[in-house]
Structure 1
Amino acid sequence: MQGIPVAGERVDELAAAIDLRDPSTILRFGAEAQNRAAAAADAMLGAARNQATGEAGEALSGLLTTLRGFDVTQLSEKPGLMGRLARLAGRGQTQAVAILQRYEGVRGQVEVIGDRLDTHRTRLLEDVERLERLYGATLEWFHALAEHIAAGEAVLARTDAEVIPAAERAAADPKDDLAPQKLRDLRAARDELDRRVHDLRLTRQVAMQSLPGLRLIQENDKALAAKIHSVLANTVPLWRTQLAQALAIQNMREASDAVRAATELTNQLLTANAETLRRGNAEARVELERGVFDLAAVQQANAALVATLEDSVRIAEEGRAARRQATQELAKAEAQIRRALSSANA
């Protein structure tokens, strides 16, 4: 039996059911166990064709592609020149608002794919349990085949060692005419049992090969289910956390920009106020430091006053000269009148 453990009582029971004189017992020998092993192979093939694994893999790949396509690290980068000009000009929305709008659309896709993945994970875990039961049943069928093979080999050994030699001795007796035919039938039944045992060995080999196949499918399903759980429990929350951190950093940057702008405006106002104060103070101090009269105005007024006095003296002198001239002219006129009167009287 090549080291295959078998139960002695069960082997004896199966061996007792074989009657080389009844061909039907040979045909039925191991048929049930053989059919059970075939059913196990069919079930394993059905598990291998299960579309849940393929669909889960596609959904997982789609989710990872969606997450990679939404790069939240863009928020950590400083905006370029055009972005800063657009922000200064007041065109469009802030980068954080745009990212949030994109996130709303991507979040819907992530939730849909996440629900599909959770469904696939449940189905995969159910398949793992079903394959575990199938593995146990296949192992039982494998042992059942081994028991049938052991029983058949025991019958063959007993037949070769005892039954056929006895039939050969009986066939050598010329008194029994049917003994040679019985020997031939016995040998044919023995060969038929040998072929039957060989078929059971082949079936047992198929069952043996199905056991690691079932384990392999189980391991793949468990690995994929664990991967889905890791993505749903770690990758998606980490992605959302990264998004939240990036948005917080972006909001902090925008707040810093606003504070910087306010500080710059305050500095501009302080500088402008100081400059205005300087100019006003200078103008006021100039006016305050001026006398009641400007020296130039006093000098001009003094020059005008001197000119006025000089004009008054000149005019007075001219008046006096004119009066003297007039007196002389009046005297001449008076003399002329007298002469004229004197001439008239004469």
Structure 2
Amino acid sequence: MNDITEIEGARMQSQDTRIAVTSAETLKQLGLQEADLPMIQEVATRIQEGNPLSVAEFGRDVAEHTSAYADSLLDQVRNSDLDEAGTKLTQVVAVAQSLNLGALTNRRSRIPVIGPVIDRMRMGSGKFMAQFDTTRDQIEKLVSEVSQTQQNISDRNKGLEEMFSAVREEHRLLGVHIAAGKQRLVEIKGHADSLRVQIENEPARLQELSDLDALAASLDKRVGDLMALQQSAMQSLPMIRMIQANNQMLVDKFHTIREITVPAWKRQFMLSLTLNEQRNAVQLATQIDDATNDLLKRNAELLHRNSVETAKANQRLVIDVETLKAVQNTLIATVQDVIKIQQEGISQRRAAEKEIQGMRLDLQKRLSRVEDKKELH
């Protein structure tokens, strides 16, 4: 009667635990809903107590799909199209920077007065227009080459969206298998507990109990692996979104360069060329005046500096007061140090005299005792 009661108690505990495994909170943690309960029950029936192979194969198909998507995700990261697009855009910037407009104004001849004229002859507009045409052709060719890469990246983002949906479904299926595995694990452990109660009366069922315990341990390990795979799938979702975002930013940046930056750069170059020609003309007219003004200012500054330094030198004493103070302070310090050393020497000699006198008396006393001993003998 007690055995029956214990068996019934183990069965009730198994049912309670099954309810806990499929509770709303547990389903939420696994990314599931109550609508997934029928599928959980169906998947749980795949685990057979008498078939250890059913545990080894449990969830393998879902795990294989997850691994395949992970490999595909890594291929997306390694794809050379991203590097190629970045390289082409870098070349666009390098070509644009190679046409240095600063050369029109920064590299000036140092020859007075006629220097600007030489600069204008050396840096004519025809030469820079030719350079501009070459640069423009290079940029347009690079932009054309990137167009195909841009289309490939856009198409890849569509594939990544499909991958995102598939990985999310894999996450759900893994959750179903985890919930089913936990449910069957509870049932198997409950069956094993009931066998432990009966084992005293039926020793022949000891092997059956051992098999159940081994099956429960294997299933527990399998559920743990599935939980790790589900977490990996969850981590893949934000990775896919980040890759999509990076791809889209690269596509948007290319649109900006092609449709806004490059045309604006061409317009600004023409404006810069015209403005620099005007600046050359203005500098040609003003350079002489600037040189004259600079010369007058430098002469005035030099006169002021020479006058001030001359006046200071004339008013300066032969020996500075600060020098006299420093010498006097050093002399006083020297006298004080000498006096201090002499006083210390006197003190040391007095102390030495006392010690010598003491040694003398001690020696005399000891010698007198020796003489007394000799007379006694």
Q: Do the structures match in fold with TM over 0.5? A: yes
| Structure 1 residue 52: Cα displacement | 1.2
Among 178, 187, 195, the residue aligned to 1:158: 187
Name the TM-score, length of structure 2 as normaliser: 0.60
Q: Deviations over 1:224-255 (max 9, x none)?
A: 1211111111110111111232345568889x
Structure 2 counterpart of 1:169, from 197, 205, 223: 197
How far apart are the structure 1 equivalents of 2:119 and 2:59? 84
CA pair 192-103 structure 1, distance change in 2 beyond 3 A: same
Q: Please, what TM-score do these two structures have when normalized by structure 1?
A: 0.65
Structure 1 Cα separation of the partners of residues 90 and 107 of structure 2:
31
Find the aligned partners of 1:236 and 1:77 in 2 and give their Cα distance.
24
Matched residues in 1 for 2:119 and 2:79: separation? 54
Question: Conserved in 2, the CA contact under 8 Å of 1:36 and 1:141?
Answer: yes
Q: Aligned runs of 1:235-246 on 2, under 5 Å?
A: 235-246=261-272
Give the partner amino acid of 1:56: A
Tell me if 1:204 matches 2:233: no
Find the partner of 2:85 among 56, 60, 70.
56
Distance 1:66 1:113 in 2: 10
Q: Residue 118 of structure 1 corresponds to which residue in structure 2?
A: 147
Q: Which of 136, 147, 157 lines up with 1:128 in the alignment?
A: 157
Using the TM superposition, give the Cα deviation of residue 20 of structure 1 relative to its aligned residue in structure 2, in angstroms. Answer: 1.7
Give 1:167's aligned amino acid.
L
* 3-state secondary structure, aligned to 2:29: coil
Determine the structure 1 residue equivalent to 2:252: 226
Amino acid in structure 1 at the alignment position of 2:77:
A
Equivalent residues in 2 for 1:1-346 (5 A)?
1=26, 3-6=29-32, 7-72=36-101, 81-82=114-115, 84-85=117-118, 95-160=124-189, 162-174=190-202, 177=204, 179-249=205-275
In structure 2, the partner of 1:311 is none
Q: Is the 8 A contact 1:75 1:246 kept in 2?
A: no
AA aligned opposite 1:100 = M
CA deviation after TM superposition for structure 1 residue 171, in Å: 2.4
Aligned pair count? 250
Kindly state the Cα deviation for residue 156 of structure 1 after the two structures are TM-superposed. 0.9
Counterpart Cα distance in 1 of 2:237 and 2:227: 15
Q: Does structure 2 retain, via aligned residues, the 8 Å contact 1:56–1:120?
A: yes
Shift of 1:195: 0.9
Identity %, equivalent residues: 26
Q: 1:245 to 1:77 in 2, by over 3 A?
A: farther
Q: Which has the larger radius of gyration?
A: 1
Per-residue displacement from partner, 1:241-297 (whole Å, max 9, x unpaired)? 11232345568889x99xx9xxxxxxxxxxxxxxxxxxxxxxxxxxxxxxxxxxxxx
Displacement after TM superposition at 1:17 (Å) = 1.4
Q: In 2, Cα distance between the equivalents of 1:50 and 1:60?
A: 17
Aligned partner of 1:265 in structure 2 is none
Contact 2:104–2:276 (Cα < 8 Å) also in 1? yes
Answer whether contact 2:108 2:119 (CA < 8 A) is retained: no
| Partner Cα separation in structure 2 for residue 78 and residue 55 of structure 1 | 36
Task: Give the distance between the partners of 2:137 and 2:174, measured in 1 at CA.
Answer: 54
Deviation at 1:165, TM superposition (A): 2.0
Q: Which runs of 5+ in 1 are unaligned?
A: 261-346
Q: Once the two structures are superposed, what CA deviation does each residue of 1:34-82 show, in whole Å capped at 9, x if it has no partner?
A: 1111111101111111111112112111111211221346568898644
Q: Using the alignment, how far apart are the partners of 2:97 and 2:156 within structure 1?
A: 30
Structure 2 unmatched runs, 5+: 1-25, 286-377
CA contact (8 A) 1:76 1:246 kept: no
Q: Distance in 2 between matches of 1:77 and 1:195?
A: 74
Q: Aligned to 1:172, what secondary structure does the other structure show?
A: coil
- 1:124 shift after superposition: 1.6
- Using a 3 Å threshold, how does the CA distance of structure 1 residues 213 and 5 change in structure 2: closer, same or farther? closer
Q: Kindly state the Cα deviation for residue 130 of structure 1 after the two structures are TM-superposed.
A: 1.4
Alignment RMSD: 2.7
Which amino acid in 1 is paired with 2:138?
Answer: Q
For residues 235 and 75 of structure 1, the distance between their equivalents in structure 2, rounded to whole angstroms, comes to 22
Deviations 1:97-120 (A, max 9, x none): 111110121122101211122222
Alpha-carbon distance change, 82 to 62 in structure 1, aligned in 2, over 3 angstroms: same
1:28, CA displacement in angstroms?
1.5
Instruction: Answer yes or no: is the 8 Å Cα contact 1:135–1:211 preserved in 2.
Output: yes
